[in-house]
Amino acid sequence: MTKLFHIKAVAYEYDSSINKFFRWIKWLIKMNSKKSKNKNLNLIKHPLLQELITVLRDKKTKPADFRKVTSLLATFMGYEVAKKFKTKKVNIETPFEKIASPVIAPNILVIAIMRAGNAMLDPILNIFPNAKAGHVGMYRDKYNNNTAVEYYFKVPENIKGYHVLVVDPLFATGNTIVATINQLKKYKVGKIDFLTFLSSTEGIKKLTKAHPDVTINTLSIERELDKNGYLIPGVGDAGDRLYGTK
């Protein structure tokens, strides 16, 4: 009897491994297809950034270090996104002569999706010191298909035409970012970039369908979402990891 049970257990483990293998292959194929079709997906590949993501993934990383790495990643992503910005010439005077020198042309608005997005806000504002900033508070209603419920929305006045950078470390179901952009577009803002560290295929698909004009800038596309809407392998709950809460 014991031998029969062992054989069944081994068979089950083998079958489970095979299923996991084929799910992984299916995911890789989906990602390659997604990258080739979605022109608004900017998957940033850089060895240093990948190493920093590894630090975030490690469950042994303490909140203080998690915050430091989040700040570094946000800074690097800000520089990456800024490569696409147009410039304009302004007249200045150096110690030797008067010249026309370039500055960033668009007005910038940075929107942090609370609470994890707050950790990305200051690093981005350090890059764009003249930018305006806003905050959006959403929570996922787990009793209603993880629908995004707004509890806070505060943006500056007169932001029509502003280039918006929405920041949130994790991009899971996509409900929160879609709801956020729905609200922002009521203010007739200009181009919108979404800066996030880890993304799901489900979220990318949902945001692209709802707002095909939004560029998604991310460092990794995760394997899957679990039944609770968490990214896998992921980093856990970014807010809890940042601030040491449960």
The per-residue pLDDT for range 179-234, each reduced to its tens digit, is: 999 999 999 999 999 999 999 999 999 999 999 999 999 999 999 999 988 999 99
CA distance 196 to 166: 8
Paired sense of beta strands 231-232 and 224-225, if any:
antiparallel
d(CA 82, CA 124): 11
pLDDT at 5: 46
Question: Domains plus CATH for the chain?
Answer: 38-243 (3.40.50.2020)
Task: Give phi and psi for 110, each to the nearest 5.
Answer: -105, 125
The residue whose two tokens read 């035409």 is: 161
Pairing of strands 132-141, 147-154: antiparallel
At CA 172, angle to CA 193 and CA 225, rounded to 5? Answer: 150
Cα–Cα distance between 220 and 50 in angstroms, integer?
8
Q: What is the pTM of this model?
A: 0.82
Name the nearest CA neighbour of 136 among 78, 183, 172, 174. Answer: 183
Q: Pairing state of beta strands 231-232 and 41-43?
A: unpaired
Predicted pLDDT of residue 19: 63
Report the alpha-carbon angle 137-68-203, nearest 5: 45
Phi, then psi, of 46 in degrees rounded to 5: -150, 130
Helix (H) or strand (E) holding 241: helix 238-243
pLDDT at 142: 66
Preceding amide of 241 cis, omega within 30: no
Q: What is the pLDDT of residue 39?
A: 85
How many other C-beta atoms lie within 10 A of the C-beta of residue 246? 4
Distance CA 201, CA 184 (A): 23
Residue ranges, the chain, pLDDT below 50: 5, 9-10, 33-36
pLDDT for 188 equals 97
Query: Do residues 239 and 69 touch, judged by C-beta distance below 8 A?
Result: no
Neighbours of 70 (CB within 10 A): 24
Helices (H), the chain: 2-37, 47-57, 63-82, 118-127, 175-184, 201-210, 238-243
CA atoms of 188 and 160, how far apart (whole Å): 5
Total count of residues recorded for the chain: 246
